[in-house]
Structure 1
Amino acid sequence: MDHPSPQQQHAFDVLVSVAFEKSWRFVEKDPFLTHNAEALLRARLRVHLERSLETGEKNVLHLANNAIWNLRTELGRQPGSPGSRS
């Protein structure tokens, strides 16, 4: 496996950070995800962002939207379902 240059790693980190901030604003208020611990949501959101970036996605909006979708698929629950807070 090739190791990224410091410049590539910095660009990767910046994209993940920008996409994280963009997506987190939605995730933290998402009624499908509120039953999860904040630390878990943050960790899994970052994993989903990194995976999308590693597969070649560079568009911040696409990164954010894909990560939200994947997080909802992985951890989401319908509001009003057993165990939810509604």
Structure 2
Amino acid sequence: MGLGFAVGVFGVLILAHAAYSTIQYRGLLKIMEEEFSGPPMTVLAEVLLGLGLCMWAGLTVPGKFLSIHPDSEENRCGTEVE
């Protein structure tokens, strides 16, 4: 478990908290009989932060990208059958 994995888990937790906060906010608006026009700015900031962390983790955790070109030297397994 490296740093990237921990950042990804933290990003998912932030996204879950943003979803929970939005649900709570909608419930509060129903009690106050007000119309829901969108989530508060703090929730939007949480969503953007969580999305950024998850994207960063998704790009760094898998490791080195390899070429998908069929003639690439990175795709060679060793001996070649003709």
TM category, shorter: 0.3 to 0.5
Normalising by structure 2, we get a TM-score of 0.36
Query: Which of the two has higher C-alpha Rg?
Result: 2
Higher relative contact order (CA closer than 8 Å, sequence separation 6+): 2
